[in-house]
Structure 1
Amino acid sequence: MNEKLSAHATVTRHFSVTAEDVFDAWLNTAMIGRFMFGPEVREEKILSLTSDPKVGGAFSFVVLRNEEEIDHVGEYLEINRPLRLTFTWAVGKDSKDSSEIEVDIVPTSTGAELTLTQKMPANWEHFVGSAESSWTKMLDALDKIL
């Protein structure tokens, strides 16, 4: 474990679709624009969603929220369809406090179970509850559109 990323937010969600369907949504910018960002999730406008979904590839998800332009950036660390996706996560390209997101998907007899863990720097411990709430909201939105 990366000791610098010792604060963990974890959420789990069951989906009634295949593991492949759940996994693929995480690499499809049209889907990302429906469950992670935009008016279906919160009051904001999507400005651009770009992604190079390969190990070492980068993404940039830019939104306008409360009249502030926010760029969510990261790099794909592991892509193992349909079981595991890991990537870095930060706000702004020069952010010193990036985190890592692990998305683990287990096929079940009724669909798939997704467990998301956001590993954050220790000084973000106060943000764990808020992160869990935000990811839960996004997974609820994903469940509705799948």
Structure 2
Amino acid sequence: MADTIEAKVTHRFKASPERVYDAFLDPAMVRLWQQAWSEQSGSGGEMTACEIDPVVGGRFLFADMRADGEARHWGTFTALERPTKIAFTWYTDPSEEEQTSLVTMIIEPEPDGPGAIVTLYHEMDAQWAEWVSRTEKGWITMLQAIDTVL
């Protein structure tokens, strides 16, 4: 196995673990938070595809149109344990499919309230080490966008 590195972010949600979990697998919710993410990140893209087969081994595809063309994100679910864990491969280019790119989200109840704490780990090929901080920024922006629509 190739050497890997890890990006890690944590976000506290006001919503329950069940609502946070469902927001990742419900196409209508994904469209809402993708739009919020697009606005927050400044990418300005309009979502062009949102396909989700929410079973272990099922695939997903998110795509949005940006100034420089369509951006596609896809993968396969490797673990789905409602409401505590979602894991999936994550790719943005076909050439990446031969490399490690595994995202694991651990969803825990907020100990002092009704919300949830999500810790997201993105294990990727070590050749992407210089992209760790940018990857973390992207994931935290996405988690914040999800929080705004829950």
- Specify if TM > 0.5: yes
The structure-2 alpha-carbon separation of the partners of 1:92 and 1:104, relative to structure 1 and needing over 3 Å to count, comes to same
**Which residue does the alignment assign to 1:29?**
27
Matched, 1:130 2:128: no
2:124 aligned residue: 120
Deviation at 1:94, TM superposition (A): 5.0
**What is the aligned residue count?**
144
* Aligned-partner Cα distance in 2 for 1:97–1:65: 25
* Amino acid aligned to 1:6: T
TM-score, with normalisation over the residues of structure 2? 0.87
**Paired AA for residue 103 in structure 2:** I
Shift of 1:93: 4.3
Q: What is the Cα deviation at residue 97 of structure 1?
A: 3.7
Residue in 1 that maps onto 2:17: 19
* Distance (whole Å) between structure 2 residues aligned to residue 130 and residue 85 of structure 1: 22
Tell me the CA shift for residue 141 of structure 1.
1.0
Return the offset for 1:47: 0.9
Gaps of 5+ in 2: none
* Distance verdict in 2 for CA 1:93–1:129, change over 3 Å: same
- For residue 144 of structure 1, report the CA deviation from its aligned partner: 1.2
Report the TM-score, using the length of structure 1 for normalisation: 0.89
Give the secondary-structure state (helix, strand or coil) at the position aligned to 1:138: helix
Greater helix proportion = 2
CA RMSD of aligned residues (A): 1.8
Judge which range, 132-141 or 60-69, deviates more. Answer: 60-69
Q: Does 1:40 align with 2:39?
A: yes
Please state how far the C-alpha of 1:5 moved relative to its aligned partner: 5.7
**Aligned equivalents of 1:5, 1:87: Cα separation in 2:** 19
Aligned residues with identical type, % of pairs: 32
Contact 1:5–1:119, Cα closer than 8 Å, also in 2? no
- Unaligned runs of 5+ residues in structure 1 are none
Amino acid at match of 2:146: L
Separation in 2, partners of 1:23, 1:45? 23
Matching residue's letter, 2:72: D
Aligned counterparts of 2:39 and 2:31: Cα–Cα separation in 1: 9
Q: Compute the displacement of 1:66 (Å).
A: 2.0
What is the rounded CA distance, in whole Å, between the counterparts of 2:134 and 2:93 in structure 1? 19
1:100 paired to 2:99: no
Structure 1 outlier segments of 4+, above 6 Å = none
Q: Which residue of structure 2 aligns with residue 72 of structure 1?
A: 73
